[in-house]
Chain A
């Protein structure tokens, strides 16, 4: 594990990486101010700069209220930053687009559509022919482990199954970047673990760029190449940490790996220190 100062512009990928380090997302001195009441402004994000390489799995880790989801929404184009800019492949992000696919904690499925209807929605919107979209969607539904549930409505599914549908629905329109906003936050521990494993398996196949927001240290270390630690009030990048654990990662091996354990402990210690310095949370 290497600790890299957040402001460092000459941040270098480890030599063990075989992927070319080309930047896909660039966040350039982004600040976000929310008006909480008539006179009070709340600085949710303060001067955030971050670059994300193509094919990297990057987690944004921090306590609730540190603005980590807001940062993701800015990259998604759902929220415009008060100052600064986010860029995707050099182009300023001005709104949402199919190159950046969100997966939300709330699932946000279309409840009037079946599982298949939800997954087909994106491809159909992109102009893919109905039968072709259906074949692709059925394959994706099978990949996320929901074969046999194609004609179920979201209300008939459990939370874990809904999130599987949401993932398939987003993967269906082939975004270049997956934006995952605490996707497993609403799930019980067991389901959460299973979905983490499955997400990792799916991701290790095609290595799409993932920006993953979470408040769970274990989750961030288990999944990511890079963990962006944030502190709150105002939301700042505290540290950017390289997770150099080998892939493919298997949960049962990793939990016994001292390197994994050290990563988790180190990150937790850093959060504890910042809690002591800052106001009690």
Chain B
């Protein structure tokens, strides 16, 4: 009897299987026309660089429903396959971003209670939110995701925004619109050495407090876990107090997931490494800059090293060299050396044999290719650059099983370029993300325009409303720009540092060239003047750039122009 019913069940499954495969072959009607004709593609006769450093070989790639089914010169082309002509194109595994906040929105600041005591804020107000899952704040359709995909990125670890412990990361693909595109959730814990939310206005306010608080939270999570275990196994134990902060750290103290510390320079990285040494979690250093001094320690401790794609501005290039004294010349030389060192950091890691990956956090998509090129020109091998963006990244994320190289059995995350990567004028023609094909227009090389200004007929003048994002939150204001002869003049309003209303400053040194708008303005606060530099690109009535304040870093600023007739 049992045998019989089992047979019937198997028969049922078989029938179901047949039904499914039939429906697979003959797609159901799709009145919305959203559905793909087929998930099967063959990239024919493409120059494949299957892994970093391997030679380009001409071959074909069969992709079916997001998986690389076959790689080979003479593979059988299924009837339903769409053909992508690979002739003269190059295929690489698409880029993997080890850490990004692209598409992630910042959780709203919590309202402070009326009896708020800044020395004892709740964890959530204090920026300690390890229970937060980034996917609750992630929008796969966000423009920046589209932009990064256009640059060849198809897999990313997205990290939550927030305070000193923002929460858990997730692994996503930049694939098609009908999928959640989630590969994994709760991949790592994101942590920082600085707290946002107004610095000294609540505990912990500085790196001092943040490090102490991190130790506190970690050690108490260990004790809490111990209490839980005792309670579960013995009688006569008082009930453990449930604490979601501690519970959210259990996978970290059990070393199931790493802590990814966002760092800026070697000193920050050492601080994270110090915490690691004391507490014993597994550590990833995210956003390394100025860390040449640390390479040996990273190597010795085998720490996950993720370099920033950010590069400093070349200060020396703007200096007036002819007016310099001898001493000034010596100083300028050191600024130049510092710049070259920054460009060469990735190359130094490569030279020392320390595997590393990259994070896009902190840079604009438009700087990606430029900065990568600068690093390659400064000595980073193309092989190491590609490895950092593919195989190393995959191994750090623990996904080498299905990502990092183009071979049978791996997920279909492939970029097709018009020439070898890093060669001049090479452009991306297709990005295949999770088996979905995204096509991009390939521009033929344009003639250089003759004039100095190639801003077209765009007119800057008008009212621009801007929003800036600093680690402390958003600011906003208006830039009023007017024509002043052949150049521009303007004013900008900003949130007053006194805390009330807006202040206004003149926009100085306005430069407007190749669609790039740069200017400086002064903020006066506490009897001091502080220069804020803004630069960015104008695209029609949109402005996207960064503002930088002395040594405090650079933060995104975006603006939109109000239609001109409203301004008059």
Q: Do A and B come from one complex?
A: no
A residues lining the B interface (CB < 8 Å): none
